[in-house]
Structure 1
Amino acid sequence: MPSRPPAEPTRSGRPRSAAADAAILEATRASLVDLGWSKLTMGDVATRAGVAKTTLYRRWAGKNELVVDAVAVLFDELELPNLGSLAADVQAVVLQFAALLERPETKTSLMAVVAESTRDEALRGRIRDSIVARQKRLVLRGRERAQDRGELPAEPDPAMAARTADLVFDVIAGAVVHRALVSAEPVDTDWARRFTLLLLSGLGAAAQPALTTGQKPGGSV
């Protein structure tokens, strides 16, 4: 008689509910907007979400983990459109990112968790893993599309490709966050276009649209 394959391990307790998870994360962001980081508690989130506090602790060890996940799902909404050129794709995702940062729950949640992470190394690591690393997919996808279209050369060295992707992500994320949240200046279509030109072509090319016909850099004609 053939032997049976080993049984799959089973988890005790009820399976997780996607609807409950979504309600908890939404309640977490609402609590941050209303209360701020220091006053937010797991109990307040549970009350807003309509679940028992034990339900939260079965999913998240504490407030840090819960808040990072609540922020991360917002950034997972970002998608890189396929508009036919690298410049158009970058400009579109910059505008998407800026629109996301305009939402009160995103702005408050992101600034709260980043501020708290300056005092908490474990929290910084969770932000890197749950938010930053997941969003680098946009850079990798954009580069692959540009290579397929012949806009960028192939990168034979995987380590160099990864370092380049890290740098591009840092430049885009840093510029948009600083513009939108620190300087409180608009990230509109014109700014996104000029930023994309600077990113893809360098300082010299970015200055060219400002020159009048026949004028040379430096103001001479």
Structure 2
Amino acid sequence: MSSLRHSPEEAPRADPREDAYLDAARACILDVGWRRTTLTEIARRAGVSRMTIYRAWSDMSQLLGDLMTREWAGVVAASHGGTLMETVLATVRALRENELFVRIVELDPELLLPYLLNRRGRSQEAVIALMEQAIVDGQQAGTIRRCNPQVIARALLLAAHGFVLSAHTMVDDDVTEADLEAELRTLVERALAP
């Protein structure tokens, strides 16, 4: 199902101080989790009035959407480079190790469910757009198979979801995280091979 609420490109913030407010929200979530974080506590940590925070976000859900978009977009941007396969592997690894992502998965995993079961979010749209462009470029260079770039990008994102969220459930004495990463490499290589 396509998201009608979010565009793949993030609009510039009306107030450049909002990054400081998001930093305060991130710190709160890392300390006490999402359920115990309030706009009032975020305002206190940011050193501003509660109304200042309410002017930027009317509720915690809106703030969380902006925080997750900023965080995940930063992870993808930091992982981007080299081949598409290298970028996918680096992004999966970086998300699994991301402090905020790990904290949300540990304490409040239900926050991720809408983006896994009901709709794509801004971060997912941005990742798909980046992958689509890399796929088009690879197709033009003859290094990626001819197929609808949107389909390939979305399929890669779906596969990556499992490796980000569930890889730890597949690790035991017989299969290591490195084994799974090697298999992800094979999956991506074969999915893209011309």
Q: CA deviation at 1:109?
A: 3.5
Q: 1:194 aligns with which of 179, 183, 188?
A: 183
What are the ranges of 5 or more consecutive residues in structure 2 without an aligned counterpart?
1-12
Separation (CA, whole Å) in 2 of partners of 1:45 and 1:198: 42
Partners of 1:179 and 1:21 in 2: CA distance: 34
Q: Using a 3 Å threshold, how does the CA distance of structure 1 residues 184 and 49 change in structure 2: closer, same or farther? A: farther
Q: CA deviation at 1:70?
A: 0.8
If you compute each CA radius of gyration, which structure gives the higher value, 1 or 2? Answer: 1
RMSD: 3.1
Query: Could you list the per-position Cα deviations for residues 125-162 of structure 1 after superposition, in whole angstroms to 9, with x for gaps in the alignment?
Result: 6x72322222212321221221122022444xxxx543
Q: What is the TM-score when the length of structure 1 is the normalising length?
A: 0.65
2:48 pairs with 41, 51, 55, which one? 51
Gap change, CA 1:50 and 1:16, over 3 Å in 2: farther
8 Å contact kept, 2:167–2:177: yes
TM-score normalized by the length of structure 2? 0.72
Shift in alpha-carbon separation, 1:113–1:141, aligned structure 2, 3 A: farther
Which residue is equivalent to 1:42? 39
Describe the shift of the 1:145–1:81 C-alpha distance in structure 2 as closer, same or farther (beyond 3 A).
Answer: farther
Partner in structure 2 of residue 66 of structure 1: 63
Work out which of the residue numbers 69, 72, 77 in structure 2 matches 1:75. 72
CA contact (8 A) 2:128 2:157 kept: yes
Q: Give the whole-Å Cα distance in 2 for the aligned partners of 1:166 and 1:193.
A: 21
**Aligned partners of 1:60 and 1:110: how far apart in 2?**
23
Q: Any conservation in 2 of the 1:75–1:131 contact (CA below 8 Å)?
A: yes
Report if aligned partners of 1:100, 1:106 keep a CA contact under 8 Å in 2. Answer: yes
Alignment coverage as a number of residue pairs: 174
Q: Greater CA deviation, 145-154 or 49-58?
A: 145-154
- Give the counterpart letter for 1:103 in structure 2: N
1:93 aligns with 2:88: yes
Runs of 4+ in 1 over 4 A off after TM superposition: 110-114, 182-188
Which one-letter code corresponds to 1:51 in the other structure? V
Q: For 1:25, which of 22, 26, 29 is the aligned residue?
A: 22
Letter in 1 for 2:28: S
> Does 1:174 find its partner at 2:162?
yes
- Structure 1: which 5+ runs fail to align? 1-14, 203-221
- Residue identity opposite 1:199 in structure 2: V
Asked whether the equivalents of residues 167 and 180 of structure 2 are also in contact (C-alpha less than 8 Å), the reply is no
SS in 1 for 2:88: helix
Q: Which has the higher contact order (CA 8 A, sep 6+)?
A: 2
